[in-house]
Amino acid sequence: MTIRPLSEIAEFQACVELQRETWGSADIDIMPARYFVTSTHIGGVVLGAFDGDRFVGFVNATPALRNGIVYWRSHMLAISRGYWNSGIGAQLKLSQRGHALERGIHLIEWTYDPLESKNAHLNIRKLGAIVRRYYVNLYGTTTSALQKGIDSDRVIAEWWLDKPRLKVAGDIRRVFIPADLQALKKQSLKSAQDVQQRVREQFLKNFADDHFVAGFERKDEWSEYLFMPGASRVYQTD
């Protein structure tokens, strides 16, 4: 597997097509090639994964500013369906980390659906990101097949690139999510909607109590977010 920065229009157009394959979205929700061009021109990066000559995945990031901190906002990580669960997502993120550090970037953030267990496993367990922000129905109604039937609730994954991974300890709180959200939706959309409402309330309550997501455990039927106290103090900058 080869991972490298993308720079050609044809490569960015391949990113457009891969979005359709990954999320099944209509064109109105697809980021066009010019978005990737702009990202690379303003200090961001688009990294592509290649199996031989075959383009199989990409991840992108654009510069952002929050509370006086310059960081990267990673907007999309897309993998060709034939390569799902192959570890390419983690490889792309680790390559993104290397490019960020080379440019003096020490924080990468991105949104993800907190009900998607595979994404949580990658973000929290493998990469060591933390979560302390939750947005209800952040994007409104989307055309993504993966989002169909439920609100577009999102959390922010914070990946502090040169900070030590946190050890989960102390007053641990657990929030359970389905091991496979899409399978649950096919079985009972109402059950998936009820789970989303419960998880939303539990996340918001934990954040209000100054707890944050520091760990994640993936199980066969249910997976668990692990919250610990100190959201307002963790990874504070001088």
In the block, tokens 């490889």 appear at: 91
Residue 109 structure tokens: 């953030």
Return the bridge partners of 50, or none: 2, 55
- Those residues with Cβ within 8 angstroms of residue 59's Cβ, 6 or more apart along the chain or in another chain: 46, 47, 74, 76, 77, 78, 89, 92, 93, 95, 96
Q: What is the mean pLDDT of residues 76-80?
A: 94
In the chain, % of residues over pLDDT 70: 99
Q: How far is CA 133 from CA 37, 119, 126, in A?
A: 29, 16, 20
Cα–Cα distance measured from residue 172 to residue 145, given in angstroms and rounded to the nearest whole number:
34
Q: What is the mean pLDDT of residues 37-46?
A: 96
Q: What is the mean pLDDT of residues 187-207?
A: 96
What pLDDT digit, counting tens, does each position of 110-156 carry?
999 999 999 999 999 999 999 999 999 999 988 787 778 899 999 99
Q: Which fold has domain 1-105?
A: Aminopeptidase (3.40.630)
pLDDT tops 50 at residue 238:
no
Question: What are the φ/ψ torsions at residue 119 (nearest 5 degrees)?
Answer: -65, -40
In the chain, % of residues over pLDDT 90: 83
Q: What is the pTM of this model?
A: 0.92
Q: Which amino acid is at 99?
A: H
pLDDT tops 60 at residue 158:
yes
pLDDT tops 60 at residue 3:
yes
Q: What is the mean pLDDT of residues 186-196?
A: 95
pLDDT tops 70 at residue 237:
no
- Select from 215, 187, 108, 202 the least CA-distant residue to 153: 202
Confidence bin at 80 (pLDDT 50/70/90): very high
What pLDDT digit, counting tens, does each position of 53-68 carry?
999 999 999 999 998 9
Confidence bin at 191 (pLDDT 50/70/90): very high
Cβ atoms of residues 171 and 228 within 8 Å: yes
Q: Domains of the chain: which residue ranges?
A: 1-105, 110-238
